[in-house]
Amino acid sequence: MKVVIMGCGRVGAQLAVLLDAGGHTITILDNDAYSFRRLAPTFGGTALFGNGIDAEALKRASIEEADVFVAMTQGDNRNIISAQIAKHIFNVPRVICRIYDPLRQELYDTLGLEAFSPTTIFAHLVQEKIEG
């Protein structure tokens, strides 16, 4: 699969490396080139400097051919807007979006984005650990 990831933070970088090792074609975008230091030396995909909320930058990342788009920056709203650009402007078949705020995550889930909230997931995870 062709996957475009926006945001080369800890999670984004690790995801890129994992998917790359799994044989997928990965393009990862970040508006801070310094973030790319997080990519392991084995990473064989493309790392591109650019702003994921800018349609031109997304085109350069060949979003038009992408099967999956993943929005993984620190900002909820940046993720939301870029995910909606991917979904509604470029018609990417599958769009995944990280939204820390659980309320916003619920809303955008109902609006058709595949959104998940690390806040909720992690709270439940720790609860399970504690309660067994």
Q: Which residues bind another protein (CB under 8 A)?
A: 53-56, 75-78, 80-81, 84-85, 88-89, 101, 103-104, 107, 110-111
Residue 5 C-beta: closest distance to another protein, Å: 18
Residue 104 C-beta: closest distance to another protein, Å: 7
Helix (H) or strand (E) holding 71: strand 68-71
d(CA 88, CA 53): 13
Instruction: Give whichever of 20 and 76 is closer to another protein, judged by the CB atom.
Output: 76
Residue corresponding to tokens 């990519």 = 39
At its nearest, how many Å lie between another protein and the CB of residue 107?
Answer: 6
